[in-house]
């Protein structure tokens, strides 16, 4: 079996490796280090968690051990897609270069320009940066890339997903043509292959695993979930997540929970905290100091659950992550490989569980097509109590409906008692008496001869129906008295009503 001592690394580097507790290189390390030490370009393709970082850090330290950096002119450059991955590379560099006098600078967002400028002005051997912050320094005239001898692009496929490819091409143009390039990626999209053909010179290709394969030591599963109602899907889905965590019991020592959207990261984190789970969010909108504090707590074991967006899917080197929960099916199938690659690292066993709602079934099919295997279906822990919840929810709805119907019925019941039958009989007589006098006077007129009784009956009936519709109740006003008109109703009021009826 190959050992690090067989890879022609410098004695000081080998001493640091031994002190770190490593003896044998991983396949990607055994394949990439020898050609890198020979000065060749390297194209490394390997799934996440296979030790790609040491594949370029170890030969870089050996190559740069001789020589000295000049002000603002770094001797090597490492490009990373995220701040977390850049910070991890810097930690690896510190671990393996502690017996070698080399300087480094970390250029990432969320940190003061002034501190970074101070390091660059002194001159650094290794510059570890994200593309955006690197170009910021260059455009400010604080950085010269003419002396770069070794350039590394880490997680190139993630660079493509995040839209960094134009920046990468520009940075390639700012570095010397004679540089040595080490290019690492987990997958090889057509755009990535185009860049390698353009900027790498006869590279040594090392592919230690089939593209986009998942570790065999990771137990995978997916829960097919459908909410009882659209407006309850989110809360029920979070309940499924909690039940899955509880079902794993003590086996789940810690876990990373991935969400597709930053807003969902915050919502899931708050929900887990509410139910007593030790959880914290991490995504691109948080301050760098807060992200660093959260990651340190997760690495040290003081934080059990890390709820993350895909910004944390790459570069999180926490060997002891027991579980990965995909709260959402990733929209890009390649991200599934990187997400579950956070568990089962360094030969350990891991568990990856995903929750799939009906609208994500297409993305699930893309994932299974990419990994070339069917992900086992798991029982929905919520299905056993779903009928009870449905009946409970329907019962919760019923009181609301009956309350509304009862309120309507009360109004309907109340209306007749105030306006209809009991009062109509009492109010009809005084109204008839009031209207009879003017009618009798009218009956003397030639037009109403022979039809006086009929007219009075019709008008009395009309008056009753009008009172019924209008809800008038003269009894409520004190019997025959009309408020504001004295003790009796003037005759002209009766005449006006009669004329209006006819």
Domain with residue 332: its CATH number is 3.40.50.300
- Whether 69 maps to a domain, the answer reads yes
* pLDDT for residue 139 is more than 90: yes
Phi, psi of 175 (to 5 degrees): -95, 160
Say if residue 363 is in the same domain as residue 431: no
Q: What pLDDT does residue 88 have?
A: 87
Q: Which band of pLDDT confidence, cut at 50, 70 and 90, is reported for residue 404?
A: very low
In sequence order, what are the beta bridge partners of 300?
none
pLDDT: is 189 or 375 the higher one? 375
Say if residue 97 is in the same domain as residue 168: yes
- Terminal Cα-to-Cα distance of the chain (whole angstroms): 116
Best-predicted range by mean pLDDT among 54-68, 397-411, 418-432, 442-456?
Answer: 54-68
Say if residue 238 is in the same domain as residue 364: yes
Q: Which band of pLDDT confidence, cut at 50, 70 and 90, is reported for residue 401?
A: very low
* pLDDT for residue 316 is more than 50: yes
Q: Which band of pLDDT confidence, cut at 50, 70 and 90, is reported for residue 406?
A: very low
Choose one of 365, 384, 403: the last residue of a domain.
384
Say if residue 190 is in the same domain as residue 256: no
Q: What pLDDT does residue 436 have?
A: 44
pLDDT: is 429 or 136 the higher one? 136
pLDDT digits (tens, 9 = 90+) for 60-77: 999 998 888 888 899 999
Q: Which band of pLDDT confidence, cut at 50, 70 and 90, is reported for residue 492?
A: low
Q: What pLDDT does residue 157 have?
A: 83
Do residues 310 and 258 make contact, with C-beta atoms less than 8 angstroms apart?
yes
Summary mean pLDDT of the chain = 79
* pLDDT for residue 431 is more than 50: no
Structural domain span for residue 31: 4-207
- Whether 181 maps to a domain, the answer reads yes
Q: What pLDDT does residue 485 have?
A: 54
Token duo for residue 232: 């309850």
Token duo for residue 388: 């009870």
Q: Region 368-389: what's the mean pLDDT?
A: 79
* pLDDT for residue 441 is more than 50: no
Hunting for tokens 């991490």 — which residue is that?
A: 282
Q: Which band of pLDDT confidence, cut at 50, 70 and 90, is reported for residue 495?
A: low
* pLDDT for residue 109 is more than 80: yes
Choose one of 402, 419, 436: the last residue of a domain.
419
Q: Which band of pLDDT confidence, cut at 50, 70 and 90, is reported for residue 287?
A: confident
- Whether 376 maps to a domain, the answer reads yes
Token duo for residue 275: 């139910």
Q: What percent of the chain has pLDDT over 70?
A: 73
* pLDDT for residue 278 is more than 80: yes
Q: What is the spatial distance between Cα 132 and Cα 112, in angstroms, rounded to a whole number?
A: 14
In sequence order, what are the beta bridge partners of 129?
79, 107
Say if residue 342 is in the same domain as residue 398: no
Number of domains in the chain: 4
The interaxial angle of helices 421-443 and 452-470, nearest 10 deg, is 150
pLDDT: is 486 or 90 the higher one? 90
CA neighbor of 471 nearest in space, from 420, 412, 426: 420
- Whether 315 maps to a domain, the answer reads yes
Q: Which band of pLDDT confidence, cut at 50, 70 and 90, is reported for residue 443?
A: very low
Say if residue 415 is in the same domain as residue 430: no
Best-predicted range by mean pLDDT among 199-213, 249-263, 275-289, 392-406?
Answer: 249-263
Token duo for residue 106: 């970390």
* pLDDT for residue 343 is more than 70: yes
- Whether 479 maps to a domain, the answer reads yes
User: Which residues have C-beta within 8 Å of that of residue 412, sequence separation ≥ 6?
Assistant: none
- Whether 325 maps to a domain, the answer reads yes
* pLDDT for residue 244 is more than 60: yes
Q: Region 335-339: what's the mean pLDDT?
A: 84
Q: What is the spatial distance between Cα 345 and Cα 50, in angstroms, rounded to a whole number?
A: 8
The count of residues in the chain is 502
Say if residue 60 is in the same domain as residue 181: yes
- Whether 213 maps to a domain, the answer reads no
User: Which residues have C-beta within 8 Å of that of residue 252, sequence separation ≥ 6?
Assistant: 245, 322, 323, 351
Choose one of 374, 402, 419: the last residue of a domain.
419
* pLDDT for residue 173 is more than 70: yes
Say if residue 68 is in the same domain as residue 114: yes
Say if residue 162 is in the same domain as residue 270: no
Q: What pLDDT does residue 212 have?
A: 59
Q: What pLDDT does residue 335 have?
A: 82
Q: Which band of pLDDT confidence, cut at 50, 70 and 90, is reported for residue 315?
A: low
* pLDDT for residue 237 is more than 90: yes
CA neighbor of 30 nearest in space, from 21, 19, 42: 42
pTM over 0.75, yes/no: no
- Whether 212 maps to a domain, the answer reads no
Q: What is the spatial distance between Cα 246 and Cα 258, in angstroms, rounded to a whole number?
A: 17
Q: What is the spatial distance between Cα 279 and Cα 268, in angstroms, rounded to a whole number?
A: 9
Q: Which band of pLDDT confidence, cut at 50, 70 and 90, is reported for residue 496?
A: low
User: DSSP 3-state helix, strand, coil percentages of the chain (rounded to 5)?
Assistant: 55, 15, 35
Q: What pLDDT does residue 487 have?
A: 61
Q: What pLDDT does residue 100 have?
A: 92
**Weakest mean pLDDT among 62-71, 174-183, 191-200, 408-417:** 408-417
Q: What is the spatial distance between Cα 87 and Cα 282, in angstroms, rounded to a whole number?
A: 15
Say if residue 263 is in the same domain as residue 333: yes
Say if residue 31 is in the same domain as residue 127: yes
Q: What is the spatial distance between Cα 129 and Cα 93, in angstroms, rounded to a whole number?
A: 13
Say if residue 188 is in the same domain as residue 227: no
């Amino acid at each position: 079996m190959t050992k690090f001592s067989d890879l022609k690394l410098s004695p000081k580097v080998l001493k640091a490796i031994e002190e770190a507790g490593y003896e044998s290189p991983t396949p990607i390390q055994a394949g990439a280090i020898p050609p890198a030490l020979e000065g060749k370009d390297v194209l490394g393709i390997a799934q996440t968690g296979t030790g790609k970082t040491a594949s370029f850090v170890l030969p870089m330290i050996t190559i740069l051990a001789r020589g000295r950096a000049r002000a603002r002119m770094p001797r090597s450059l490492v490009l990373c897609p995220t701040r977390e991955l850049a910070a991890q590379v810097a930690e690896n560099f510190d671990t393996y270069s502690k017996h070698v006098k080399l300087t480094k600078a970390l250029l990432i967002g969320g940190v003061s320009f002034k501190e970074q400028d101070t390091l660059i002005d002194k001159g650094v051997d290794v510059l570890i940066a994200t593309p955006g912050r690197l170009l910021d320094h260059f455009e400010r005239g604080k950085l010269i890339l003419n002396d770069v001898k070794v350039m590394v692009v880490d997680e190139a496929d993630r660079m493509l997903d995040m839209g960094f490819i134009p920046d990468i091409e520009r940075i390639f143009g700012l570095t010397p043509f004679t540089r040595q390039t080490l290019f690492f990626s987990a997958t090889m999209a057509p755009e990535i292959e185009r860049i390698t053909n353009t900027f790498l010179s006869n590279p040594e290709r090392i592919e230690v695993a089939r593209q986009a394969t998942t570790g065999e030591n990771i137990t995978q599963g997916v829960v097919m979930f459908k909410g009882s109602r659209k407006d309850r899907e989110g809360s029920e889905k979070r309940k499924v997540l909690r039940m899955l965590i509880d079902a794993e019991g003590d086996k789940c020592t810690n876990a990373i929970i991935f969400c597709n959207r930053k807003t969902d990261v915050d919502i899931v984190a708050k929900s887990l905290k509410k139910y007593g789970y030790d959880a914290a969010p991490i995504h691109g909108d948080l301050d760098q100091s807060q992200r660093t504090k959260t990651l340190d707590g997760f690495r040290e074991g003081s934080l059990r659950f890390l709820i993350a967006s895909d910004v944390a899917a790459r570069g999180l080197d926490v060997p002891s992550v027991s579980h990965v929960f995909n709260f959402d099916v990733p929209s890009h199938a390649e991200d599934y490989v990187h997400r579950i690659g956070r568990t089962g690292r360094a030969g350990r066993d891991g568990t990856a569980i995903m929750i799939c709602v009906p609208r994500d079934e297409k993305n699930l099919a893309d994932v299974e097509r990419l990994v070339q295997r069917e992900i086992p279906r798991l029982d929905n822990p919520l299905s056993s109590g779903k009928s009870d919840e449905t009946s409970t929810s329907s019962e919760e709805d019923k009181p609301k409906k009956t309350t509304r119907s009862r309120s309507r019925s009360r109004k309907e019941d109340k209306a007749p008692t105030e306006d209809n039958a009991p009062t109509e009989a009492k109010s009809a007589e005084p109204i008839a008496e009031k209207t009879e006098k003017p009618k009798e006077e009218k009956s003397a007129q030639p037009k109403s001869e022979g039809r006086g009784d009929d007219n009075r009956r019709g008008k009395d009936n009309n008056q009753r129906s009008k009172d019924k519709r209008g809800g008038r109740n003269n009894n409520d006003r004190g019997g025959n008295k009309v408020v504001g008109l004295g003790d009796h109703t003037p005759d002209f009021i009766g005449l006006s009503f009669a004329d209006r009826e006819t």
